Amino acid sequence: MNRIRNFCIIAHIDHGKSTLADRLLETTKTISERDLQDQVLDNMDLERERGITIKSHAIQMNYEHGGEMYTLNLIDTPGHVDFAYEVSRSIAACEGALLIVDATQGIQAQTISNLYMAIEHDLEIIPIVNKCDLQSAMPEEVEDQIIDLLGCDRSDILRASGKTGLGVQAILDAIVERVPAPVGDPDAPLQCLIFDSVFNPFRGIIAYYKVVNGTISKGDLVKFMATDTEYDADEVGVLRLDMEPRKSISCGDVGYIISGIKTSKEVKVGDTITHVDRPAENAISGFEEVKPMVFAGVYPIETEDFENLRASLEKLQLNDASLTFQPESSAALGFGFRCGFLGLLHMEIIQERLDREFNMNVISTVPNVSYLVYDKQGHCTEVHNPSGMPDPTLIDHIEEPFIRASIITNTQFIGPIMTLCLGKRGILVKQEYIHGDRVELFYDLPLGEIVIDFYDKLKSISKGYASFDYHLSDFRPSKLVKLDILLNGDTVDALSTLTHFDNAQSFGRRMCEKLKELIPRQQFDIAIQAAIGSKIIARETVKAVRKDVTAKCYGGDISRKRKLLEKQKEGKKKMKQIGTVEVPQKAFLAVLKLD
Ligand code: GDP
Ligand code: MG
């Protein structure tokens, strides 16, 4: 145990976590140069392209220091706010953290919130200024920020470049010298903290854990405490580049277990594994059930794809327990599923995977949050879909989720950011100067306003120089109304939204204007109306047109004519027939594009 070091890497997206991790693996010869692919830790295509690590992983290295061989376990953490709970569990499994800050960018909000989490868990922090090879690097300024934040000495900070390999050796030495060895009792009843799990089509679910107390061996009868289910440990081992089976994994170390588990729902991040024969009295504290916070309807474009869509969602759920779905139907869109996601990024990832891995052509509705609706008798229901709102006369009041947001930016952008937050019903809680001209703003904001287009707007008004992080705080009463959209007099349920009473008028008007842009002219006039209850609050008209695409061909070339017709048919696939009106897929996301 004295020669084990467990550490994670805390970094803002793109500050070079994956690149530096590669260098560590290369320097410790955990991977040979021949095997060295860029960013081996991000082993999903999607992650690689997006440069974010969606699921956390772990990898073990050996490193010789002062004549002794050490085992270093790198526990990778996801870098996005949607996955905050997974981050917290990976951090709980470590004794140290590398804090990587890009020398050209400085500290960002995401870095700070994960850093606080690490400090709360008493991790030893090793600060690293990365990308020092770049011309535009400002290592002194970034060091000043780090000193302000951690209260450390300048000499504690390492300078590095994942690109050139500068400082990599020093980082490995610092891990051995500064990160404490894990503590735990090898003779106590078994307690393993699960910090991640993956689905393997041949082996089922593989759970990753740190042994906090005791020893786990192949063949043991084990129990997962939160789900209260028993399994045989068919295989235990350590994670190198591949899984390497071992007879047992002992106290302080990190490993995996394969035990015939079929679906990700059976393995919960944060759960504790113990022995059935000699169980631990308590689970490791900090277990939480993660709950989806953002919901959207997902519908197949072709009705007959409904069962395929179900099968695809089931497959995705095998390795992503935080995705939920249940069948729903919409008068406008037919049969589909209401899916629950951890946040917006998670939703985008799922949509992209449906498209890429399953070739599913889907329409998704405007995302919304979950609301608590109280009736006059004080009874509370959770509503995940605007069209599921009870009749307004039955409602006593509605509560919506609020978040506490942290925004870090340069002082020059404070004005526009405050205007943006105000427009989103934000309440400024406090404002703190960090270093030089950098400021951190704390806001209470309704989550429902964030899921729509907050992040994109924040990025554009700050020219990319604002970082954003949030956590859920509480549910608060709000004056919310349901806004319906009608096309030629028919309500399109998939376009209904819940919006604050004070903003409803302008929101309805902008929705109608946007839909007018997005719905192509057809052979008759199309009336677009916004309504609250039976009251129409805005109206636009798409004028009729006679459109003959083949007219351009001057009668001549028949093959060209056929091509055009085929092209038009292709284009139609992205349209949905609603009553008499053809609505393009992107119209359902119109609300995301309002100016
Ligand atoms: P992550 O999102 O934190 O995992 O960041 P990546 O490791 O994916 O790196 C983000 C980008 O920065 C990539 O284009 C890398 O090639 C680049 N990068 C990473 N480390 C360095 C470095 O030390 N120097 C330079 N010049 N570029 C780097
Ligand atoms: Mg990465």
Q: Residue 197 region, left (φ>0) first, then alpha (ψ -120 to 50), else beta? A: beta
Q: Which amino acid residue places its CA nearest to atom 17 of ligand 1? A: 16
Query: Which of 35, 38, 81, 41 lies closest to 57, judged by CA?
Result: 41
pLDDT at 121: 92
Q: Which amino acid residue places its CA nearest to atom 2 of ligand 1? A: 14
Question: Residue 312 in contact with residue 360, Cβ under 8 Å?
Answer: yes
Domain with CATH 3.30.70.240 in the chain: 371-478
d(CA 241, CA 147): 35
Residue 88 one-letter amino acid: S
Q: Say which residue, 64 or 197, is predicted with more confidence.
A: 64
Q: What is the DSSP string of 96-134?
A: EEEEEEETTT---HHHHHHHHHHHHTTPEEEEEEE-TTS
Pairing mode of beta strands 535-542, 58-65:
unpaired
d(CA 93, CA 207): 14
Question: Residue 393 in contact with residue 285, Cβ under 8 Å?
Answer: no
Tell me, in angstroms, the distance from the centre of ligand 1 to residue 39's CA.
10
Best residue among 8, 13, 14 to mutate for probing ligand 1's pocket (most ligand atoms within 8 Å of CB) is: 14
d(CA 582, CA 14): 41
Tell me, in angstroms, the distance from the centre of ligand 2 to residue 75's CA.
13
Q: Residue 436 region, left (φ>0) first, then alpha (ψ -120 to 50), else beta? A: left
* pLDDT tens for each residue of 184-231: 999 999 999 999 888 888 888 899 999 999 999 999 999 999 999 999
Residue 581 one-letter amino acid: V
* pLDDT tens for each residue of 352-380: 889 888 998 888 888 889 999 999 999 99
pLDDT-based confidence at residue 38 (cuts at 50, 70, 90): low
Domain with CATH 3.30.70.870 in the chain: 294-364
d(CA 55, CA 44): 9
Q: Which ligand is nearest to the CA of 131?
A: 1
Tell me, in angstroms, the distance from the centre of ligand 2 to residue 54's CA.
9
Which position has the token pair 């804090």?
A: 99
Question: Residue 401 in contact with residue 373, Cβ under 8 Å?
Answer: no
Q: Is the dihedral of CA 241, 247, 252, 257 positive or negative?
A: positive
**From residue 317, how far is each of 350, 364, 479 by CA, in Å?**
10, 18, 35
pLDDT-based confidence at residue 15 (cuts at 50, 70, 90): very high
Within its chain, how far is the Cα of 277 from the centroid? 38
User: What's the DSSP call for residue 312?
Assistant: H
Question: Residue 90 in contact with residue 77, Cβ under 8 Å?
Answer: yes
Q: Say which residue, 548 or 475, is predicted with more confidence.
A: 475
Lowest mean pLDDT among 230-244, 250-264, 346-360, 402-416: 346-360
User: Model pTM?
Assistant: 0.77
Which position has the token pair 């470590």?
A: 94
pLDDT at 49: 44
Which class in CATH covers the domain with range 482-592?
A: alpha beta
> For the chain, first and last CA: distance in Å?
58
d(CA 140, CA 2): 35
What token pair was written down for 259?
A: 């035990």
Atom of ligand 1 nearest to the CA of 22: 7
Instruction: Say if residue 488 is exposed, middle or buried (CB neighbours under 10 Å; 0-12, 13-18, 19+).
Output: middle
17 is in an annotated binding site: yes
Pairing mode of beta strands 272-275, 191-200:
antiparallel
User: What's the DSSP call for residue 224?
Assistant: E
In CATH, 4-178 is 3.40.50.300? yes
Atom of ligand 1 nearest to the CA of 21: 7
Superfamily name with CATH number, domain 294-364? Elongation Factor G (Translational Gtpase), domain 3 (3.30.70.870)
* pLDDT tens for each residue of 548-561: 555 554 555 566 66
User: Across 233-321, where does the E strand assignment appear?
Assistant: 235-239, 243-246, 248-250, 254-258, 272-275, 294-300
Q: Residue 123 region, left (φ>0) first, then alpha (ψ -120 to 50), else beta? A: beta
Find the helix packing angle between 17-27 and 168-178, rounded to 10°: 80
* pLDDT tens for each residue of 257-307: 999 888 778 888 899 999 999 999 999 988 888 888 889 999 998 889 999
Q: Which ligand is nearest to the CA of 24?
A: 1
Which class in CATH covers the domain with range 191-275?
A: mainly beta
d(CA 193, CA 338): 32
d(CA 261, CA 319): 12
* pLDDT tens for each residue of 518-546: 898 888 899 999 999 889 999 999 998 76
Average predicted confidence (pLDDT) for the chain: 87
d(CA 211, CA 190): 8
* Count of Cβ atoms closer than 10 Å to residue 438 Cβ: 18
Query: Which of 286, 315, 310 lies closest to 299, judged by CA?
Result: 310
Best residue among 19, 36, 55 to mutate for probing ligand 1's pocket (most ligand atoms within 8 Å of CB) is: 19
Question: Residue 529 in contact with residue 512, Cβ under 8 Å?
Answer: yes
Q: Is the pLDDT of residue 452 over 80?
A: no
d(CA 354, CA 348): 10
Find the helix packing angle between 344-358 and 306-318, rounded to 10°: 120
Atom of ligand 1 nearest to the CA of 13: 2
Tell me, in angstroms, the distance from the centre of ligand 1 to residue 455's CA.
23
Q: What is the DSSP string of 408-439?
A: EEEGGGHHHHHHHHHHTT-EEEEEEEEETTEE
Kindly list the protein residues whose Cβ atom lies closer than 6 A to any atom of ligand 1.
Answer: 11, 13-19, 39, 51-52, 130-131, 133-134, 161-163
Residue 516 one-letter amino acid: K
What token pair was written down for 135?
A: 């011309």
User: What's the DSSP call for residue 3?
Assistant: T
H, E, C per residue of 21-38 = HHHHHHHCCCCCCCCCCC
Q: Which ligand is nearest to the CA of 41?
A: 2
Domain with CATH 2.40.30.10 in the chain: 191-275
What token pair was written down for 60?
A: 């073990």
Q: Which residues contact 136 (CB under 8 A, 6 or more apart)?
A: 104
Query: What is the maximum alpha-carbon separation in the chain?
Result: 88
Atom of ligand 1 nearest to the CA of 161: 23
Tell me, in angstroms, the distance from the centre of ligand 2 to residue 580's CA.
47
Q: What percent of the chain has pLDDT over 70?
A: 89
Q: Which ligand is nearest to the CA of 42?
A: 2
Tell me, in angstroms, the distance from the centre of ligand 2 to residue 41's CA.
8
Number of residues in the chain: 595
In CATH, 371-478 is 3.40.50.970? no
Domain with CATH 3.30.70.2570 in the chain: 482-592
Q: Which strands, in side-by-side order, build the sheet including 221-224? A: 229-232, 221-224, 272-275, 191-200, 204-213, 254-258, 235-239, 243-246
d(CA 268, CA 377): 36
Atom of ligand 1 nearest to the CA of 160: 23
Question: Residue 330 in contact with residue 336, Cβ under 8 Å?
Answer: yes
